[in-house]
Amino acid sequence: SGQAGGRRLRTPDGQGTRPTSDRVREALFSALDARGALDEPCRVLDLWAGTGALARVLATKGDFVHIWSRREDLAAQINGTGKNERYLPSATLPYSLRATHDLKEALKGATMVVFVCPSHATREVARLAAPFVPEGVPIVSATKGIENESLMFIDEILEAELPAYCKKNLAFLSGPSFAKELAAELPTGVVIGSHDPHVREVVMRRFHAPYMRTYGSDDIVGVECGGALKNVIAIGAGAADGLGFG
């Protein structure tokens, strides 16, 4: 269950389980809207809907979250079952999170936009989203990596593909986080990098949770390098250990 307007959401059966009826879901969204709980929606752009772990963090805190999925069947499955059966089957997604195949709908009225697509797809998704990204809201990238062909970092890609007014609102989330552990609400620490102190503070506050500690930094290149290189170092260290080199 999630929270909205300071109240804990419960399912109609009172047991905290999530029925699959679309009518129940729509009734709940209408009730939340009437309470003003949907006044500050957050939109998560996640190619193929990814795992939804970060979106779940926001939704369990009371945000009304849209995940955009390129795959219409996956969006329908998430909405129908409350689970991402392919990428994160162990986690139940809150009522306040739903998926959509319509990018324009996904971004309508958003107060924060989060890109969580793979690095090789970031440019394409940013280009598709550019006409619909609202002005004056934080644009967060949780993508770790470097573009294969150009060797550009994600901040460079977003600055090139999104409208100019987005540049000052960019923030970058990185850290040793794993989707399954995050969904299980195990202790997790991440860094939010942004040149703008206000944007950095807003994003840190939106993602902060009892099990998720957020730290701030103005070193965007350092944050991105850490996210891109950590797995390479981990693989190398693992190989060395496996070969008995210590």
Active site residues: 230
For residue 67, report the phi and psi dihedrals to the nearest 5 degrees.
-100, 130
Report which of 235, 94, 224 is spatially closest to residue 172, judged by C-alpha positions.
224
Count CB atoms within 10 A of the CB of residue 173. 25
Report the sign of the C-alpha dihedral through residues 178, 180, 181, 182, in that order: positive
Q: Kind of pairing, strands 113-115 and 97-100? A: unpaired
Report the sign of the C-alpha dihedral through residues 56, 58, 59, 62, in that order: positive
As a whole number of angstroms, the distance between CA 86 and CA 201 comes to: 33
Report the sign of the C-alpha dihedral through residues 70, 81, 50, 165, in that order: positive
Partners of 99 in beta bridges: 67
> Residue 219 contacts by C-beta under 8 Å, 6 or more apart in sequence?
193
Cβ–Cβ under 8 Å, residues 200 and 194 = yes
